[in-house]
Chains A and B, each alone.
Chain A
């Protein structure tokens, strides 16, 4: 089930080295490392169509961040934007650009207990595609600093 258009050979090679397994305390009886397990995937019982009830509960209790690399098509930013908007949360800050490294990092809109952020030019794996902006975004969220 490894994803198309990516190459995980280096991870497979590294994590399947006997000395690496030993260093990270993997018992001998444990299976060889695979990036994705097709048996798990095929048999997985998907019990939810939407996370709306969960978000409605969570946003009444704790802070959240929904972020999207804006050139991903597996879970695209527009769908998550629609989802967050559908929660009808109070808007704290209108949509605006945020910056990192002298460039536009993306866009942010802040709701009561939920920040909606895009990372410009990042795909599905945001911290890999745009590591600098991703770290800045994380810091802003964790430490309640402006994006």
Chain B
């Protein structure tokens, strides 16, 4: 383990911990420096599995995972002190938190170039893993390794896992599996299913539901096979989906936890897990524009009898 990356005195940590922890940088593609924070297992670090964790976005920091979700210490509301998390994942595994891509959190690009995409991100993450296992922590190369994450990591995790498996001839990592929580796996299925989810949870009633089924589904029965809420070009379907989407995403419900409060805080108009949402909105913006242009054209043509 790199002594220079060892955390020896973490501010706000007022309880004793039974594990080592490290923070530093891993080399990604084209000189990108990806910040990592590694917490060893408090049980048996030499033999416990190693779990990589990534939060989503794209563009959001995995420090959220470390300090608010599954890490061994969590930040108190005072923003200065830390409390113990008895359910930390490092009670059973070594956990590596990686901030990616460059420019996220404390990760950086030496040329301040923050533009990237899915493939370059997975390549950088792969190179960072090589740096971790070859140079920083070679003693962990034999441990069982798992790639995990949440939300837009539904893209990060599989693309990275494929790279690791396909690169095994040149660089062997003991990859055993992957885990993805509330991940984005398909834009189409995510967008189609949320309409069913919302109706089944009572977020809107039969009047809107019947219109959705009538305008977006073939046949009289709503099912995932029969309905297309995702990319219909029927104006009445688009209009109904927009109404439903507004209820789900824009009218004050906590989209991350339907039954939780919606505290005001640092939250903005967009979301760190916006992958699905931005696409819904982008698609609807396109559809709305189309609808608006169609309406204007009809008015221009004076086709009052058009139905």
**Chain A residues in the interface with B (C-beta under 8 A):** 1-15, 17, 19-20, 23-26, 30-31, 33-41, 43-52, 54-55, 57-58, 61-69, 71-83, 86, 121-129, 131-132, 134-135, 138-139, 141-143
Determine the distance from Cα of A91 to Cα of B68 in the docked complex, in whole angstroms.
35
Q: Please choose the segment from B188-196, B209-217, B294-302 that sits at the chain A interface, where 4 or more of its residues have CB less than 8 A away.
A: B188-196
- Report if A33-B92 is in contact (Cβ < 8 Å); known contacts: A54-B162, A131-B85: no
Main secondary structure of the interface of A (DSSP, over half): mixed
User: B162 and A63: CB pair below 8 A?
Assistant: no
Residues in chain B within 8 A of chain A (CB atoms)? 4-5, 7-12, 23-24, 35, 37, 49, 51, 57-61, 63-65, 67-70, 75-80, 82, 85-89, 91-93, 101, 103-106, 108, 114-119, 144, 146, 150-151, 154-155, 158-159, 161-162, 165, 175-194, 196-198, 224, 248-249, 253-277, 279
Which residue of A15, A19, A65, A78 contacts B196 across the interface (Cβ within 8 Å)?
A: A78
B106 touches A40 (CB 8 A): no
A92 smallest CB distance to B (angstroms): 15
Contact of A11 among B75, B93, B108, B194 (CB under 8 A): B75
A63 to B108, CA, bound (A): 33
Contact (Cβ within 8 A) A44 B117: yes
Q: Establish whether residues A66 and B158, one from each chain, have CB atoms under 8 Å apart when the complex forms.
A: no
- Chain A residues lying within 8 Å of B89, measured Cβ to Cβ, are 127, 135, 138
Contact residue among A26, A30, A51, A128 (Cβ-Cβ distance under 8 Å from B68) = A128
Chain A residue contacts of B267, Cβ below 8 A: 2-7
Compute how far the CA of A134 lies from the CA of B95 in the bound complex, rounded to whole angstroms.
15
| Assembled-state Cα–Cα distance A35/B273 (Å) | 11
Contact A24 B253, beta carbon cutoff 8 Å: no
Q: Does B196 lie within 8 Å of A5, measured CB to CB?
A: no
Known: A1-B274, A9-B79. A124 touches B266 (CB 8 A): no
CB pair B162–A41 under 8 Å, yes or no, is: no
Q: Is the CB of B67 within 8 A of A11?
A: yes
Q: Which residue of B86, B155, B198, B272 is within 8 Å of A51 (Cβ)?
A: B155
Known: A50-B185, A75-B184, A127-B70. Is A25-B154 also a contact (CB below 8 A)? no
CB-CB under 8 A from A39, the residues of chain B are: 59, 103, 114
| Inter-subunit contact A141/B179 (CB<8 Å) | yes
Q: In whole Å, how far is B272's beta carbon from the nearest beta carbon of chain A?
A: 4
Give the docked Cα–Cα distance between A7 and B176 (Å): 35
Cβ–Cβ contact B197 & A73, under 8 A: yes
Give the distance to chain B from A65, nearest Cβ to Cβ, in Å.
Answer: 4
Q: Which of B10, B92, B115 contacts A142 (CB 8 A)?
A: B92
* CB atoms of A2 and B257 under 8 A apart: no
In chain B, what residue has the closest Cβ to A67? B181
Contacting residue for B59 out of A17, A44, A61, A139, CB 8 A: A44
Note all chain A residues with C-beta closer than 8 A to B11: 17, 19-20, 23
A-B contact pairs, 7 of them (CB 8 A): A2-B265, A31-B106, A36-B60, A36-B272, A37-B57, A48-B155, A50-B189
A25 to B93 alpha-carbon distance, docked (Å): 24
**Contact assessment for B103 and A123 in the assembled complex, using a CB-CB cutoff below 8 Å:** no
Q: Which residue of A lies closest to B82 (CB)?
A: A14
Nearest CB on B from A35, distance (A): 6
For the complex, give the distance between the alpha carbons of A7 and B154 in Å. 23
